[in-house]
Amino acid sequence: MLSNQAGDGKRASLHGHWSSRMAFILAVTGSAVGLGNIWKFPYIAGQNGGGAFVLVYLICVVVIGMPVMMSEILIGRRGRRNPIATMELLGREEGSSPHWRLLGALGVLAGVLILSYYSVIAGWTLAYIVKSASGVFDGASAAAVGDEFGGFVGSWQLVLFCHSLFMALTVFVVARGVEGGLERAVRFMVPALLILMLMLLGYSINSGFFGQGLAFMFTPDWSKLTWLSVLAALGQAFFTLSIGMGAIMAYGAYLPEETSIPNASAAVVGADTAIAMLAGLAIFPLVFANGLDPADGPGLVFDTLPLAFGQMAGGVFFSTVFFLLLSFAAWTSAIGLMEPAVAWVVEHLNQSRAQASIFVGGSIWILGVGSVLSFNLLSDVTFLAGTIFDNIDYLTSNIMLPLAGLLITVFAGWVMCRNSTADELGGSGLVYKVWRLLARYVAPVGILLVLYNTVT
């Protein structure tokens, strides 16, 4: 049952609680698992030599991603408010400054900006479900597949329609609340995502090139591992967990007191990482089976893979399954990205959840129009990092998220007192001591390396 009461006299969430530990794990996993796992991870691994990159990535997930996620969840549960109000409240309670609310605002703003362009790419996946199901790619040549993609993104009307449809789906779920919307959606979509992934994996196993894909993923080639590869692995590990954008903090605010944060975090990190690995194992055999390049960059999903599916038996069905999988992954992430801003509007502007969802969703939709036009009418309008889309992506991914992650670990590790953090993490045993070491020293240094690489 949804409850607005917290036990033992502790602060209660204004928005209710997750009904169970599993509901929280599914929700955070759904928020963390997105296009970054299924779209971005395979091609980054491909560009950086495969196995050696994967090994470094896994190390980074454990020593950087895990402590930052635990920090963000414990802050969220301690404050029980939207990220802005939580950081202001805890800043005062810990004897520091209420200006820590700016960190909460940074995360909320990052989530809004990311969703404004993320929704555009997610809209492409909706269009590609229809294209795949209708057999557009069946037997198509590389030129035909490329023309199909170019024609689609070149039509601002079609891209805008898909962006609008995806945002409407996201608003629909978020407006229904924690239990009736967020929890009900992830209880269906996350298991469905896993089933679709396993179906695609089974298809890849029978492609005849699974061994080659497995070797590429897990046989280290240290000659291809550069310092830039290590930084790419660190950045991917950080961003794939949805850290620093307010979503994890907002979801942590709804976490029941009796739920172990270390155990829940380990489950989320494990599930997120497993899905990234499964994505690589499902995609690379198909790439090798068709003599394609595993380092084909962002075009791997919307250009290379449709070509691969088009040359295979059953390709129409499995291409449709793949893009349905991508859509589900994007949808669960979008829900998490939107939630912090909606929670702030509900609390700060005294709006109903439905009103707040429509207001926030409409604002994000308007911001997203700039990214829609970046691929067609405004594709020649470039400044700083490139198009409007490129600039928002660069600002959020390379600056705002690592900065927010850094400040979260500083606040949890250095500003919050030991009693507060130990209380949330279940005592001051070995797990707590390891977290404190990683959160105070290791994770900040790793994040600073990412930031340094960005600005130099």
Q: pLDDT tens, 286-302?
A: 888 877 777 666 667 88
* 383, β-bridge pairs: 386
Q: Calculate the alpha carbon distances from 77 to 155, 305, 354, 425 in Å.
A: 44, 41, 24, 11
Q: Among residues of the chain, what percentage have pLDDT more than 70? A: 95
3-state secondary structure of 386: strand
| pLDDT at 342 exceeding the cut of 80 | yes
**Least confident span in 64-68, 353-357, 398-402, 404-408:** 398-402
pLDDT of residue 431: 94
Picking from 335, 276, 263, 279, the residue whose alpha carbon sits closest to that of residue 66 is: 263
- Residue 426: band (very low, low, confident or very high) from pLDDT cuts 50, 70, 90: confident
Lowest mean pLDDT among 16-20, 25-29, 164-168: 16-20
CB contact set of 17 (below 8 Å; sequence gap of 6+): 2, 3, 4, 6, 178, 254, 255, 256
Look at the alpha carbons of 416, 426, 56, 31 in this order and tell me if their dihedral is positive or negative: negative
Task: Name which of 13-22, 315-324, 352-361 the model is least confident about.
Answer: 13-22
Q: Which residues contact 361 (CB under 8 A, 6 or more apart)?
A: 167, 168, 170, 171, 174, 338
Question: 10 Å Cβ neighbour count for 8?
Answer: 6
CA distance 456 to 440: 25
Query: Rounded mean pLDDT of 429-436?
Result: 95
Paired with 386 in beta bridges are: 383
3-state secondary structure of 103: helix
Considering all CA atoms of the chain, what is the largest pairwise distance in Å, rounded to the nearest integer? 66
Over residues 397-415, mean pLDDT = 92
Residue 87 carries which DSSP code?
H
User: Nearest 5°: CA angle at 59, between 55 and 63?
Assistant: 170
What average pLDDT does the segment 164-179 reach? 91
For range 434-445, the mean pLDDT: 94
What is the DSSP secondary structure assignment for residue 12, as one 8-state letter?
Answer: P
pLDDT of residue 297: 60
Q: Greater confidence, 148 or 14?
A: 148
Mean pLDDT of the chain: 88
Residue 77 has pLDDT above 70, yes or no: yes
* Contact criterion met (CB below 8 Å) for 209 and 288: yes
**What does DSSP assign to residue 7?**
G
pLDDT in tens, 181-220: 888 888 888 888 888 888 888 888 987 889 988 888 888 8
**Alpha helix ranges (H) inside 80-155:** 83-93, 101-133, 142-153
366 pLDDT more than 90: yes
Pick from 27-31, 43-47, 127-131: least confident: 43-47
Alpha carbon distance 150, 106 (integer Å): 35
The residue-averaged pLDDT of 416-430 equals 92
Provide the 8-state DSSP code for 376.
T
This prediction's pTM: 0.89
pLDDT interval class at 2 (50, 70, 90): very low
Mean of the pLDDT values across residues 356-363? 97
d(CA 213, CA 287): 9
Radius of gyration of the chain, Cα coordinates, nearest whole angstrom:
21
What pLDDT was estimated at residue 295?
Answer: 67
pLDDT at residue 108, as a whole number: 96
SS3 359: helix
CB 18 within 8 A of CB 254: yes
Task: Give me the count of residues in the chain.
Answer: 456
Give the chain's domains with CATH numbers: 21-455 (1.10.4160)
Structure confidence by residue, pLDDT tens digits, 303-332: 878 888 888 888 899 899 889 988 988 898
Count CB-CB contacts under 10 A for residue 166.
27
Taking residues 172-181, report their average pLDDT: 84
